[in-house]
Structure 1
Amino acid sequence: MANILHIDTSPRGERSISRALSYEFITSWKDTHTGDKVTYRDLGHNPVPHVNEAWIAAAFTPPDTHTPELAEAIKLSDSLIDEFIAADRYVIGVPMYNFNIPSTFKAYIDQIVRVGRTFTIDENGYKGLVDSSKKLLIITARGGSFPPGTPFAAYDYQEPYLRAIFGFLGITDVTFIHADSLGAGDEAREKSLAAAKDAIAQAVANW
């Protein structure tokens, strides 16, 4: 039995493509993996706060020296990290905003990337503390298309950043499903959505 953390990051509701596709994966997965537990976090509709000065002070001082104010400032981060580490697999729906991720998702990442909790530093440099056997599936929704080897690939800061930051934590088994060309007309949109749904079906069978 696996514990799956399912995260949506779009501020949209029923009009969100990334939400619809991540939901399609999760519902199909649960149909064939009935014993698995799914924990859901909706960052698009229930965003977490950005880090502030009190958070930084708490993150870089020993917990046993925290004042009540510092303990409160880091409390949510501790909870989010506990939730993240407890998961065996991750499914994240992410729209592309200005070639990258929504600020709500970046705020979440800043809350869980913490020295001593999800990464450490030693004489050899940085080391992720999250179990490297865990798997991450990221489903994106994009208005354009950024195929590798084309001039447009240089505009894709979304996939490289997400691979880098989760790899930094120790998660290197990362699969992307891109629903792209969504702003390129009805024909391109439908073709891309069909391809994304096919990829989701394959991921359900093989992930």
Structure 2
Amino acid sequence: MKLLHVDASPKGGRSNSRALARYFIASLQEQGVNLEIDYLDLRQQPPAHIDRSFTIAAYTPAAERTAAMKQALEPSDALCRRVLEADAFVFAMPMHNFSYPSVFKAFIDNIVRAELTYLVDDSGHYIGQLSRQKALFITTRGTDMRAGQPLSHMDALTHSLQSAFGFVGVQAPTFVDAQPTQFAATIEREQALARARIELLAVARDWVKQLP
């Protein structure tokens, strides 16, 4: 299985989302899954935010693009190849102000590409090209946004990820959310991380069952 593992936390070694992603991957490997891991650390290799030259180039037919346009799209083209070639995704990130970090938004903007990760048919329908890939989103949240909690309605992260990746074809992504993880609440944070590890182990076992 070729696994694209993307970390988006700016915290490096202090990151809970990074630690949980490592735990999940180790759980797969311990069950004998042969993984080819394509790792991308967005803290170290942040995609460029899209600008005017990118937008013009992306919406110019491929046959009409100038050399400068092709150059502007090269990093995005490379990211699109990586997602298209993967069999599964593990995306790990903290919640920043109710959504994902800006560096992950840049990642999304670079991989949602017409004629690459989605097509438009003759009737105007959008056809995502990532329908064969499994996807796991591992998120950490400072506050508790589980159903029934006072701030559950402010979780823009989950819905935005579902929309963006659903558009490019990802079907039924799995979410494991560690919450709350505030540093001031030691017991609650450790309980949240323990719950997440239990959920991740279950997801790993489920993935193993679905292997051909």
User: Match for residue 162 of structure 1?
Assistant: 161
User: Match for residue 191 of structure 1?
Assistant: 191
TM-score, with length taken from structure 1: 0.94
Q: Distance in 2 between matches of 1:29 and 1:147?
A: 26
User: Match for residue 205 of structure 2?
Assistant: 205
User: Match for residue 58 of structure 2?
Assistant: 59
TM-score, with length taken from structure 2: 0.92
Identical columns (%): 37
User: Match for residue 95 of structure 1?
Assistant: 94
Q: Distance in 2 between matches of 1:98 and 1:120?
A: 32
2:81 partner amino acid: D
Structure 2 unaligned spans of 5+? 208-212
Show CA shifts across 1:2-22 (max 9, x none): 111000001111110000100
Q: Distance in 2 between matches of 1:46 and 1:150?
A: 36
Report the Cα offset of residue 150 of structure 1. Answer: 4.3
**Contact 1:133–1:173 under 8 Å retained in 2:** no
Show CA shifts across 1:141-165 (max 9, x none): 1101112244422110001110111
Alignment of 1:69 with 2:106, yes or no, is no
| Runs of 4+ with >4 A deviation | none
**Contact 1:22–1:93 under 8 Å retained in 2:** yes
Counterpart mapping for 1:5-16 below 5 A:
5-16=4-15
CA RMSD of aligned residues (A): 1.4
Show CA shifts across 1:9-52 (max 9, x none): 01111110000100111122123234221110011222110111
Q: Distance in 2 between matches of 1:174 and 1:49?
A: 26
1:189 partner amino acid: R
2:49 partner amino acid: H
**Contact 1:138–1:177 under 8 Å retained in 2:** yes
User: Match for residue 18 of structure 1?
Assistant: 17
Q: Which moved more, 1:57-66 or 1:167-176?
A: 57-66
Q: Distance in 2 between matches of 1:34 and 1:162?
A: 27
Q: Distance in 1 between matches of 2:170 and 2:145?
A: 24
Structure 1 unaligned spans of 5+? none
Seen in structure 2, the aligned counterparts of structure 1 residues 96 and 70 have a Cα distance that, compared at 3 Å, is: same
Q: Distance in 2 between matches of 1:182 and 1:165?
A: 26
**Contact 1:134–1:173 under 8 Å retained in 2:** no
